[in-house]
């Protein structure tokens, strides 16, 4: 007994010994103490053991099977029915050595099984393994909780990149528009975001004041890396005076600055545009974005714009073409990230014409929020959405 191996770093571990035989309990206690485990409590049957769980909070149970009142099999079953203890290691030590007895113990929830008479070296080796695994599991759980907390904070920060409800309400009131938006990353963090600005320097003859400048971004990849890039690009855009630039000039400037920051192989698609009420149009430039859609009251289907253009971050000298789509009073503008068109459909994907067909199904829905919610429900019925999904519907009040 004097040569028993120490159980390193486990002095703080709690072991509950459950055996109806007093001599066996004290022999196991002495064995554990000589192995380095000192926080030990003893119970004389299954009921006694279950009653001690919440006060002693063991890290491992040494359990005999044949006991009066509540035997080890039933105690194990009841233990596993308690969510807080479903992963607690239970090391059975029993004189029952038939294969069916072992199978019954494992079916009841035992973690490991040793037979009496106890081999001290073997028992301590198994105790060490299970306690170390228990400690590792706790460390992993704490790491997961910390990571989830940090990711939750990062997601809230990312959501703040987009216009708040209060800011949207201000723009809607000032520019005579309704705006409905949706943002859902495919994981905890995503590579999409959008923003807008209202320029009230150009009144619009009673149909709302000034232009609305907006952009939508979709970075390659998902998760933390893509999210970090959204913060990079958001900082660039916030430092710029978009009102003094055309959409094409804005994209060119953003691209040059982003090329200096992005690691090789990373890029973003982006659409930047201006709603011009006085001209009844939407003027935009695209860096490989999805195709914008517009429609007017009475239209049976949306009109798809062109979106050709080199993605941001690939070539600093890239130039972008300016295009326009009609947007009269009562007209609608629909922007979306590629999560809406890369939904699997058989051996292919939904694509933009497919999305336009789904939009046409709901084209008479006048409430913007209901339109988006219904479209998203329809998209989920088509197939799984595996990418970040951002969508924006702007309606000019007629």
Q: Tell me the DSSP string of 222-265.
A: -HHHHHHHHHHHHHHHHTS-GGGS-HHHHHHHHHHHHHTTSPTT
pLDDT at position 9: 56
* CA–CA separation, 70 and 18 (whole Å): 11
- Tens of pLDDT, residue by residue over 79-92, are 999 999 999 999 99
For 14-142, give the CATH class.
Answer: alpha beta
Burial class, 117, CB count within 10 angstroms (exposed 0-12 / middle 13-18 / buried 19+)? exposed
Instruction: Please answer whether residues 16 and 45 qualify as being in contact, where contact means their C-beta atoms are separated by less than 8 angstroms.
Output: no
pLDDT at position 138: 82
Which CATH topology does 160-396 take? Phosphatase 2c; domain 1 (3.60.40)
The segments of the chain whose pLDDT lies below 70 read 1-10, 200-209
pLDDT at position 5: 46
- As a residue count, the chain comes to 398
* CA–CA separation, 295 and 356 (whole Å): 11
Instruction: Retrieve residue 272's tokens.
Output: 């930047």
Strands of the sheet with 192-203, listed across from one edge = 192-203, 209-219, 268-276, 281-287, 322-326
Closest alpha carbon to 10 in 34, 29, 38, 42: 38
pLDDT at position 207: 43
**CA 371 from centroid of its chain's CA atoms:** 25
Long-range CB contacts (within 8 A, 24+) of 94-99: 94/64, 94/65, 94/66, 95/66, 96/65, 96/66
Instruction: Please answer whether residues 25 and 62 qualify as being in contact, where contact means their C-beta atoms are separated by less than 8 angstroms.
Output: no
Q: The dihedral of CA 67, 69, 73, 77: what is its sign?
A: negative
Which value, to the nearest 10 degrees, does the dihedral of the CA atoms of residues 185, 187, 190, 196 take? 20
* CA–CA separation, 389 and 379 (whole Å): 11
pLDDT at position 8: 46
* CA–CA separation, 362 and 158 (whole Å): 30
Phi, psi of 199 (to 5 degrees): -105, 105
Q: Where are the domains of the chain?
A: 14-142, 160-396
Instruction: Please answer whether residues 305 and 295 qualify as being in contact, where contact means their C-beta atoms are separated by less than 8 angstroms.
Output: no
Instruction: Please answer whether residues 369 and 162 qualify as being in contact, where contact means their C-beta atoms are separated by less than 8 angstroms.
Output: no
Instruction: Please answer whether residues 117 and 111 qualify as being in contact, where contact means their C-beta atoms are separated by less than 8 angstroms.
Output: no
Q: What angle do CA 49, 50, 54 make, to 5 degrees?
A: 105
């Amino acid at each position: 007994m004097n040569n028993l191996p120490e159980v390193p770093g486990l002095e703080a571990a709690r072991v509950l010994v459950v055996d109806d035989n007093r001599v066996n309990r004290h022999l196991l206690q002495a064995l554990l103490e000589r192995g380095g485990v000192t926080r030990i409590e003893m119970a004389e049957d299954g009921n006694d053991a279950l009653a001690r769980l919440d006060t002693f909070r063991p890290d491992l149970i040494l359990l005999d099977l044949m006991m009066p009142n509540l035997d080890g099999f039933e105690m194990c079953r009841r233990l596993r029915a308690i969510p807080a203890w479903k992963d607690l290691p239970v090391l059975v030590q029993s004189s029952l050595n038939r294969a069916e007895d072992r199978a019954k113990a494992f079916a009841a929830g035992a973690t490991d099984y040793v037979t009496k008479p106890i081999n001290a070296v073997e028992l301590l080796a198994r105790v060490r393994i299970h306690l170390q695994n228990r400690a590792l599991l706790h460390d992993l759980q704490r790491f997961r909780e910390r990571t989830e907390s940090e990711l939750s904070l990062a997601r809230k920060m990312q959501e703040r990149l987009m216009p708040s409800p209060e800011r949207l309400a201000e723009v809607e009131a000032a520019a005579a528009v309704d705006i409905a938006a949706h943002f859902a990353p495919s994981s905890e963090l995503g590579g999409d975001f959008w923003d807008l600005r209202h320029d009230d320097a150009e009144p619009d003859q009673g149909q709302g004041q000034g232009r609305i400048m907006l952009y939508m971004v979709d970075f390659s990849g998902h998760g933390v890396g893509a999210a970090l890039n959204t913060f990079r690009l958001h900082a660039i855009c916030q430092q710029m005076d978009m009102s003094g630039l055309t959409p094409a000039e804005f994209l060119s400037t953003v691209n040059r600055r982003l090329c200096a920051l992005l690691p090789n192989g990373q890029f973003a698609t982006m659409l930047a545009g201006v709603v011009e009420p006085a001209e009844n149009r939407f003027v935009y430039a695209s860096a490989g974005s999805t195709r914008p859609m517009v429609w007017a009251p009475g239209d049976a289907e949306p009109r798809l714009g062109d979106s050709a253009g080199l993605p941001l971050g690939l070539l600093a000298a890239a130039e972008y073409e300016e295009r326009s789509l009609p947007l009269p009073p009562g007209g609608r503008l629909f922007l979306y990230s590629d999560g809406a068109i890369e939904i699997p459909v058989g051996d292919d994907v939904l694509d933009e014409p497919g999305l336009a067909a789904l939009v046409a199904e709901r084209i008479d829905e006048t409430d913007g929020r209901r339109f988006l919610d219904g479209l998203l429900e329809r998209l989920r019925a088509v197939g799984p959405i595996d990418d970040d999904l951002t969508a924006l519907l702007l309606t000019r009040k007629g």
